[in-house]
Amino acid sequence: MKLLVVGHTYITAFAQAKYVAMKHLSPELQLRLVVPHEVSHVFMMYRPELHKGLDPEEVVVLPSRINRSHMTRILQPSRFAALLKAFNPDHIHIEEDPHSLVGIETVFLASRLCRRATVSMFIWDNLARTPRFPLNVIKTAFTCYSLSHCGLVVCGNTEAQRLLTEIKRYVGPSLVLPQMGLDPDDYSGPLPQVLPEPLAKQDDIPVIGFIGRLLPEKGVLLLLEALSRLLSLRWKVLFVGDGVLKGEICTRWKSILGERLIYVAPIPHRTVSGYMRRLDIFVLPSYSLPTWKEQFGLALAQAMMAGVACIGSSSGAIPEVLGPGGLIFKERDVDDLARALKRMLESEVLRKELGDKARGFAMQRYTNEVVATGYLKAFENLAAINRLRKPPESSPRVGC
C-alpha cells in the first residue's frame, strides 16, 4: 500500500515512530509523511526531524503559508499537487482538523488528483463549540466538505466519536485510537544522566510530578494548593514545562514550598521518559472550560508507560486514558485532589499496585506497535472495500 499522511505533528521524530512501527508491521508499505517547514509551540519552534527508522524521502517538508496556527496554515499548493501526482497514493490520512485550511486543501487536491485513493481523518474535537457568525457558518461548511470525502474518521477519544455522529452528522465508519504511540524500551533500563541534582539524588522521599503546559486550565494551581495542605507529609514536586504560570510557580510558590519545589524548563520529547521514571506519582489535574477540555493527555500515557501511579481529574478524556492505573478526583475540587494525594503519599503499597496496573494498561493500549496495528488494519480494510467497489459516483458521508 502507498500511504500518504498529512500532519504537522509528524515534524518530530518522536511522533514519526508510529509510522516506523507501521513499516515493521507491513514491510511493503510505501510511505510519505507531509509536514510544514516549521511548527510554533508554546515550548519551542519545531523544525523537521527524521527518525532513524525512516528514509529521507519518506518525510516530505513543504513550505507553508498563512502560518499563524495549525488552523490557518496551508502547504504550498503547486508542490503539494506535484507530490500527490507523483506518489499517487492508495490511501491519504489527514491528521489536521476538518475545518482547518490545510485539511480543506488536502481534501480538495486529493479529490482532483487522486480519485482512486481512499481518505481518512483524525480528529480530537470533544467539545461542541459553536463560534459566532460568520465563523460558525464557515466552520460547518468546511467540516461538511472535508468529512463528505472521508471513508473513515479516527477519533482520539470516545466523546469526539459521539460528537462526530451527533453534531457533525458523519455516518461513515469511525473508531477510537490514540494519535501516537510510545516505545516501551524508553521506559526501562538505567535512568539517564540528564536529571537535575535534586532528582538525581536518590532518597525515600516520594516525588510528585507534572509535565506539560503551565496553564490555569491544566490545574497547576490546584495541584499546588492541594500540596500546600500536605506539608506535614514528606514529598517533593517537579514541574517541567512553560506557560503563563511559570513566573508564579518560580516566585510565589517557590517561597511557600521552598526546596520541595523543583522547576525544569521544557525538555525534548526524547528525554521525557527519564523524568517520568524518576516520579512516584504523576498528576494531571486539568479542568474543563467552555472552549476546551482535556482531549487525551499524552504525558499521562507516558507516566503510565513508566509504571508511575497516577492521579487524574474527571475532565474530558482523562478517565478513559487512565483506566485502572490511578485515582480520579472531581475536577476543580482541591479537597478531593488533596485526599487522593494523601492516600498515595501514605501508602507505598498503593503506589506500587497502581503503577503496575498503569504499566499493564499502557502496554495494552499505548505502544507504537499496538497503535500502528490499529491504524494499519483500518487503512487496509478501507482500501480493500474500495477495490471491491465499482467506480462510484462520490456520495457524501455527512448530512449537511
Q: What is the pLDDT of residues 84-122, one digit of tens each?
A: 999 999 999 999 999 999 999 999 999 999 989 999 999
CATH 3.40.50.2000 domain residues, the chain = 2-181+367-388, 184-365
Helix segments in 38-133, DSSP class H:
77-87, 101-113
Long-range contacts of 346-353 (CB under 8 A, 24+ apart): 346/233, 350/309, 351/206, 351/280, 351/281, 351/309, 352/309, 353/309
Residue 111: predicted pLDDT = 95
Q: Between 82 and 394, name the one with better pLDDT.
A: 82
CATH-assigned architecture of domain 2-181+367-388: 3-Layer(aba) Sandwich (3.40)
| Residue 52: count of CB within 10 angstroms of its CB | 8
Q: Which helix (H) or strand (E) holds 223?
A: helix 220-228
The predicted-structure confidence for 10-29, as pLDDT tens digits, reads as follows 999 999 999 999 999 999 99
Integer angstrom CA distances of residue 112 from 86, 109, 149: 14, 5, 12
The band of 398, judged by pLDDT with boundaries at 50, 70 and 90, is: low
The mean predicted confidence, pLDDT, of the chain is: 92
The three three-digit cell numbers of residue 177, written as one number = 485510537
This prediction's pTM: 0.92
184-365 to CATH, choices 3.30.70.980, 3.40.50.2000, 3.90.420.10, 3.40.50.300:
3.40.50.2000
On the question of a cis peptide bond just before residue 134, with omega within 30 degrees of 0, the verdict is yes
| Residue 357: count of CB within 10 angstroms of its CB | 19
